[in-house]
Amino acid sequence: MADVDLSSGSRWELYRVLSEPLRLRLLALAAEEELSIGELAELLGEGQPNVSRHAAALRQAGLLADRREGTRTLVRLPSEATRDAVVADALASGRSLCEKDGSLARVATVVEAREAASREFFSRPGKPRIDALPAEMGAYLAALAPLLPRRGLALDAGTGDGRLLDVLAPVYDRVVAFDRSEAQLARARERVASRGYENVTLVAGELDSKELRKAVGSAGADAVFASRVLHHAPQPSRAVAQLTALCAPGGALVVLDYAKHEDESMRDQADVWLGFDPAELRRFARAAGLEDARVTKIPPPYRGDGPDRHLPWQVLIASKGQRHHG
């Protein structure tokens, strides 16, 4: 993205670009949330080609930053652009127009729609898949458990069919596993029953639900795990912040997810995002107030035999400071 050119010789170009009301509205919406061209077209009530053309003019002027995400282009207003008084005034005018036409209030609805396919996909009933484990696996994990400094409570965020519970239950004194899909929880419930896990509590709800907060307790979890969850979140940075809020001071957040890839077919698996760059994950962690964020690649042999085994996997591990109040 080019910097906003504030030289006197180019001021007329800046005024020209900002003279179009549609561009003012586009600018205001992009300042509210990073949005795709399709989402902006929906909010503005315009065709995508027209929105793309106006976005290109704003981008050329340094007023929009764009990011490729598979076949989608997402745009946002860079914070440095608002340092210019003319741009700040234009943004205020755009917000006023968007408030009047209701498009600003619809941004949240458009963002929520990103996970509509995800909700539908995970609500489908299905036969539980309970993989066979080596008979001694639990013993191995229990033997490793004393090496962990804090293993009172683990949170399995977005537990799905409960596959991660086979790792967490033998290690932690108590495990809270939650999912917003009752269909997924039914599979997890069958796994818990078949394994005989007496230290696992299953909770239905969202990340910010009172039920989950009550199950975790005011002290928070020693470790919060989110395994292949973040790419389903409509706002990944916000999801990391919510996960961090459930983590105890001094605890850890562990996010297992995909690295950036171009496999659009994964959208059929309800994926909202086609993975993340390591720098993105570290940025999410910093924004949530986490410390010592590290991103590590997961070797291919460790990726199982599912439909996503061909994708690049990575894990983010970060700690929550002792004085962090979330």
Instruction: For residue 289, give the CATH number of its domain.
Output: 3.40.50.150
Asked if residue 134 and residue 84 are part of one domain, the reply reads no
Asked if residue 59 and residue 184 are part of one domain, the reply reads no
Q: What is the pLDDT of residues 219-255, one digit of tens each?
A: 999 999 999 999 999 999 999 999 999 999 999 999 9
* pLDDT over 70, % of the chain: 94
Residue 21 — very low, low, confident or very high, per pLDDT cuts 50/70/90?
very high
Report if residue 3 sits inside a domain: no
Q: What is the pLDDT of residues 116-172, one digit of tens each?
A: 878 888 888 776 666 666 778 889 899 998 988 899 999 999 999 999 999 999 999
Asked if residue 214 and residue 96 are part of one domain, the reply reads no
Torsion over CA: 98, 100, 103, 104 (sign): positive
Asked if residue 247 and residue 159 are part of one domain, the reply reads yes
Asked if residue 297 and residue 172 are part of one domain, the reply reads yes
Strand order in the sheet with 65-69: 35-36, 72-76, 65-69
What local confidence, expressed as pLDDT, does residue 6 receive? 44
Asked if residue 139 and residue 109 are part of one domain, the reply reads no
Asked if residue 18 and residue 100 are part of one domain, the reply reads yes
Domain termination residue (choose one: 78, 94, 113): 113
Domain termination residue (choose one: 113, 140, 172): 113
Distance CA 179, CA 185 (A): 6
Report if residue 325 sits inside a domain: no
Q: Rounded mean pLDDT of 171-200?
A: 96
Asked if residue 108 and residue 215 are part of one domain, the reply reads no
Report if residue 287 sits inside a domain: yes
Phi-psi category of residue 46: left, alpha or beta, with phi > 0 → left and psi -120 to 50 → alpha: beta
Asked if residue 125 and residue 104 are part of one domain, the reply reads no
* Cβ atoms < 10 Å from Cβ of 7: 6
Q: Which two tokens stand for residue 265?
A: 């077919």
Asked if residue 257 and residue 168 are part of one domain, the reply reads yes
What local confidence, expressed as pLDDT, does residue 80 receive? 87
User: Mapped to the 3 state alphabet, what secondary structure does the chain carry?
Assistant: CCCCCCCHHHHHHHHHHCCCHHHHHHHHHHHHCCEEHHHHHHHHCCCHHHHHHHHHHHHHCCCCEEEEECCEEEEECCHHHHHCHHHHHHHHHHHHHHHHHCCCCCHHHHHHHCCHHHHHHHCCCCCCCCCCCCCCHHHHHHHHHHHCCCCCEEEEECCCCCCCHHHHCCCCCEEEEEECCHHHHHHHHHHHHHHCCCCEEEEECCCCCHHHHHHHCCCCEEEEEEECCHHHCCCHHHHHHHHHHCEEEEEEEEEEEEECCCCHHHHHHCCCCCCECHHHHHHHHHHCCEEEEEEEEECHHHCCCCCCCCCCEEEEEEEECCCCCC
Distance CA 294, CA 129 (A): 32
Task: Examine the pLDDT at 82 and tell me if it is beyond 90.
Answer: no
- Which of the residue ranges 1-10, 173-182, 216-225, 274-283 would you say has the lowest mean pLDDT? 1-10
What local confidence, expressed as pLDDT, does residue 3 receive? 46
What local confidence, expressed as pLDDT, does residue 166 receive? 94
What local confidence, expressed as pLDDT, does residue 1 receive? 41
Give the total number of structural domains in the chain.
Answer: 2
Q: Mean pLDDT for the chain?
A: 91
Which domain covers residue 243, as residue numbers? 121-320
What local confidence, expressed as pLDDT, does residue 129 receive? 66
Asked if residue 57 and residue 127 are part of one domain, the reply reads no
Asked if residue 194 and residue 69 are part of one domain, the reply reads no
Task: Examine the pLDDT at 114 and tell me if it is beyond 50.
Answer: yes
Q: Rounded mean pLDDT of 188-217?
A: 95
The answer to whether residues 3 and 10 touch, using CB atoms and an 8 Å cutoff, is no
Domain termination residue (choose one: 113, 137, 169): 113
Give the type of residue at 313.
Answer: W
What local confidence, expressed as pLDDT, does residue 324 receive? 54
Give Rg (Cα) of the chain. 23
